[in-house]
Amino acid sequence: MSDIIRLLPDSVANQIAAGEVIQRPASAVKELLENAIDAGATQIDLVVKDAGKTLVQVTDNGCGMSVTDARMAFERHATSKISSANDLFSIRTMGFRGEALASIAAIAHVEVRSRLTQEELGTCITIEGSAVKSQEVCQCPEGTTFMVKNLFYNVPARRRFLKSDNVELRHIMEEFQRVALAQPHIAFGMFNDRKPVFQLRPENLKQRIVALHGQSYNNRLLPVEQKMDTFVVSGFVGRPEYAKKIRGEQYFFVNKRFMKHAYLNHAVDSAFEELLPERAFPGYFLFIEIDPNEIDINIHPTKTEIKFQDERLMYSVIRSAVKSALGKFSITPSLEFNPEPSLDLRMPSASTPIRNPQIKFNPDYNPFESQKPEPTPREQSNRQNWEKLYSPPEEILPSQQTQAFATNATDDEPTGDQTFFQLHRTYILSQVKSGLMVIDQQKAHERILYDRYVELLSRRKAFSQQLLFPVTIALPPAEAGLMDEISEELRLLGFDIAPDGKHPFHFVVSGIPAGHPQNNIGTLLEGIVENYRTNLLELNLDKHNNLARALARNVAIKKGRPLHQPEMKALVEELFACKVPDLSIDGEPIIRIIATDKLMHESQPQS
């Protein structure tokens, strides 16, 4: 057989190498912003068009490049930041690989204009697919502007793999926010399709966090500070009550470089232990300043991991620094000594007359107020099945039942006075024909609401209750952008919401879905948009499903909420009217039935 190995042409090799560094417009944004920081800029402006697919432009007022350097910068492994392998252990700059510009130039139309501080004229170079098209002297301000146009124009497969503009823009905003957070003393601007997204002046870290995440962060942050011999940990953690349901605002920076670190993340989580409900994640913005000798920055260009020489020390310092931050503000777990009202199962003694239990409940609360359409045949049959479930086992006569589980159920009215019990404010228990039925209250309510919202969205008409006093809410900028995308659907669900016209991230809510409690509207909407955003990144849902899910998650009765008889009854009835009453919106079981003869065995309950 003849020889078959060939060297790839440079252009192909460059494209392959570029794919490692530049995966999407956001990667180009990150590299260009970091170069501007390394150039000592104090003002950096990012302009994107079509979520970076048409244009990514970064302008800085940094040191600029000489005519030769401007040309050299595009060569692979060309860098001014290190000159020997030893330098790898004392890196203070963001870049050091000398690959970014070469990669970008291989897969886009690039134009750079740069002028050194002391020079009168600058230089302008255009490059397409690694080939220099022109280089000339030009008039330009001090510093550098990179324009990256038509990313992946010569790699159609990559271009096809790009996500929608909204998703790509979010990736860009994420990179932008990481860089801007790490460098609060630098002024940043970001423009998307000519509209300003951020205008950040030089400020301190707290001001920068607030500028990026919204005014509400002003009183959410607790300062963290711990000085050690070889490193310093500083920054802020979010107050526990503002923990999010998704891993959102969790930032570690090491020498101003963003990193992900599962082990150290655990250190923060564990400092919050007992202060947070399950499935809630604390927010943090933590900075580690350390001698570069003590760390190993991953050599891979897109990885965000960093290794520490003494990881365990780092873990315990972070944990104790966060704990003491929480402690200083006397946020310690408060133990609840209130008895569970629903677990008061004392049997009446012979001397006390048996009275019907008195129920106290909030008459205004009705989580199920809705404009339900006529039940479908499927729903009707579910309801009937449920009713069958409740008819008492034939061999037990009503008179033999204990008071605790008493039902007046007759064949005619099997569900009438069914008694429900709440266990640990989490599960609804009740007797059914074959044994004990256990329902997860939160999952059940999520299912009910989800079905209702999907229905509302498809019918395109919802009932809204107008607020007497419209509420203005401020969303974190990353989420404010999403509001435009879902405002039509929110209207279909009954929200009356519009931009306030003055501040780009503020919205005025003047109506909410009928039957919804009027308090905490800001938190509710923030939660919805936040959920919607994660669903978008993690699940492949269409808009309606995504939104219905996000809303159901946020509105549903949570674990830990005490429920009264009528609420439990309504919840169970509504659940059985759902098309799929037994599966949660995540596909987990909502209902379990433990057969009477299994109750005293340890075996797994059968559902």
Sheet strands (E) in 375-442: 421-423, 427-432, 435-440
As measured in angstroms, the least distance from the Cβ of 271 to ligand ADP is: 35
CB 202 within 8 A of CB 42: yes
What is residue 537's three-state secondary structure? Answer: helix
As measured in angstroms, the least distance from the Cβ of 369 to Mg ion is: 57
- Our finding on whether 63 is near ligand ADP (CB under 6 A) is yes
- Our finding on whether 101 is near ligand ADP (CB under 6 A) is yes
Walk across the sheet containing 250-254 and list its strands: 221-227, 231-238, 284-290, 250-254, 257-259
**Selection from 438, 455, 450, 425 nearest residue 567 by Cα:** 425
Which CB sits closer to Mg ion, 35 or 342? 35
Binds ligand ADP by CB under 6 A, chosen from 24, 28, 29, 31:
31
CB 285 within 8 A of CB 224: no
Minimal CB distance residue for ligand ADP: 95
Structure tokens that stand for 156 in this block: 């159609």
- Our finding on whether 179 is near ligand ADP (CB under 6 A) is no
Binds ligand ADP by CB under 6 A, chosen from 73, 172, 288, 486:
73
- Our finding on whether 48 is near ligand ADP (CB under 6 A) is no
- Our finding on whether 60 is near ligand ADP (CB under 6 A) is yes
Q: Give me the torsion for CA of 562, 565, 571, 573, rounded to 10°.
A: 170
**Selection from 503, 465, 467, 504 nearest residue 484 by Cα:** 504
Minimal CB distance residue for Mg ion: 95
As measured in angstroms, the least distance from the Cβ of 19 to Mg ion is: 17
- Our finding on whether 122 is near Mg ion (CB under 5 A) is no
Binds ligand ADP by CB under 6 A, chosen from 28, 39, 140, 482:
39
What is residue 169's three-state secondary structure? Answer: helix
**Selection from 301, 297, 306 nearest residue 20 by Cα:** 301
Window 135-174: contact mask with ligand ADP (x via CB under 6 A): ---------x------------------------------
As measured in angstroms, the least distance from the Cβ of 445 to ligand ADP is: 52
Residue with tokens 């005619």: 412
Where does residue 551 rank: exposed (0-12), middle (13-18), buried (19+ CB within 10 A)? Answer: buried
Which CB sits closer to Mg ion, 298 or 466? 298
CB under 6 A: which stretch of 55-63, 311-319, 335-343, 438-446 binds ligand ADP?
Answer: 55-63
As measured in angstroms, the least distance from the Cβ of 459 to ligand ADP is: 54
- Cβ count within 10 A of residue 547: 25
Structure tokens that stand for 329 in this block: 């503000």
Q: Give me the torsion for CA of 282, 285, 286, 291, rounded to 10°.
A: 150
As measured in angstroms, the least distance from the Cβ of 29 to ligand ADP is: 13
Query: Which of ligand ADP, Mg ion, none binds 144 (CB below 5-8 Å, type-dependent)?
Result: ligand ADP
Query: Which of Mg ion, ligand ADP, none binds 97 (CB below 5-8 Å, type-dependent)?
Result: ligand ADP
Sheet strands (E) in 104-254: 109-115, 122-128, 131-138, 143-149, 187-192, 195-200, 221-227, 231-238, 250-254
CB 521 within 8 A of CB 512: yes
Please list, in sequence order, all residues whose beta carbon lies within 8 angstroms of the beta carbon of residue 84, skipping any fewer than 6 positions away: none
- Our finding on whether 108 is near ligand ADP (CB under 6 A) is no
CB under 5 A: which stretch of 83-91, 97-105, 445-453, 524-532 binds Mg ion?
Answer: 97-105
- Our finding on whether 65 is near ligand ADP (CB under 6 A) is yes
CB 370 within 8 A of CB 561: no
- Our finding on whether 78 is near ligand ADP (CB under 6 A) is yes
Binds ligand ADP by CB under 6 A, chosen from 15, 27, 79, 130:
79
CB under 6 A: which stretch of 6-14, 61-69, 325-333, 491-499 binds ligand ADP?
Answer: 61-69
Which CB sits closer to Mg ion, 29 or 525? 29
Window 15-44: contact mask with Mg ion (x via CB under 5 A): --------------------x---------
| Cα distances (angstroms) measured from residue 319 to each of 226, 247, 255, 282, 333 | 10, 18, 19, 13, 16
Q: Letter for the amino acid at 231?
A: F
Size of the residue set binding ligand ADP (CB under 6 A): 22
Binds Mg ion by CB under 5 A, chosen from 100, 105, 197, 563:
100
Binds Mg ion by CB under 5 A, chosen from 64, 95, 143, 581:
95
CB 152 within 8 A of CB 109: no
Binds ligand ADP by CB under 6 A, chosen from 95, 122, 283, 581:
95
- Our finding on whether 80 is near ligand ADP (CB under 6 A) is yes
CB under 6 A: which stretch of 73-81, 195-203, 308-316, 466-474 binds ligand ADP?
Answer: 73-81
Query: Which of ligand ADP, Mg ion, none binds 526 (CB below 5-8 Å, type-dependent)?
Result: none
**48: β partners:** 56, 192
Please list, in sequence order, all residues whose beta carbon lies within 8 angstroms of the beta carbon of residue 530, skipping any fewer than 6 positions away: 244, 245, 246, 248, 479, 550
As measured in angstroms, the least distance from the Cβ of 177 to ligand ADP is: 20
As measured in angstroms, the least distance from the Cβ of 3 to ligand ADP is: 35
- Our finding on whether 35 is near ligand ADP (CB under 6 A) is yes
As measured in angstroms, the least distance from the Cβ of 94 to Mg ion is: 7
**Selection from 200, 194, 225, 196 nearest residue 213 by Cα:** 200
Query: Which of Mg ion, ligand ADP, none binds 79 (CB below 5-8 Å, type-dependent)?
Result: ligand ADP
Name the strand (E) or helix (H) holding 74. Answer: none
**For residue 52, is it left (φ>0), alpha (ψ between -120 and 50) or beta?**
left
CB 232 within 8 A of CB 288: yes
Which CB sits closer to Mg ion, 35 or 265? 35
CB under 6 A: which stretch of 98-106, 126-134, 174-182, 368-376 binds ligand ADP?
Answer: 98-106
- Our finding on whether 17 is near ligand ADP (CB under 6 A) is no
Query: Which of Mg ion, ligand ADP, none binds 211 (CB below 5-8 Å, type-dependent)?
Result: none
CA–CA separation, 411 and 91 (whole Å) = 80
Q: Give me the torsion for CA of 396, 398, 402, 404, rounded to 10°.
A: 120
Q: Given the rule CB under 5 A, which residues bind Mg ion?
A: 35, 95, 100
Q: Given the rule CB under 6 A, which residues bind ligand ADP?
A: 31, 35-36, 39, 60, 62-65, 73, 78-81, 95-101, 144
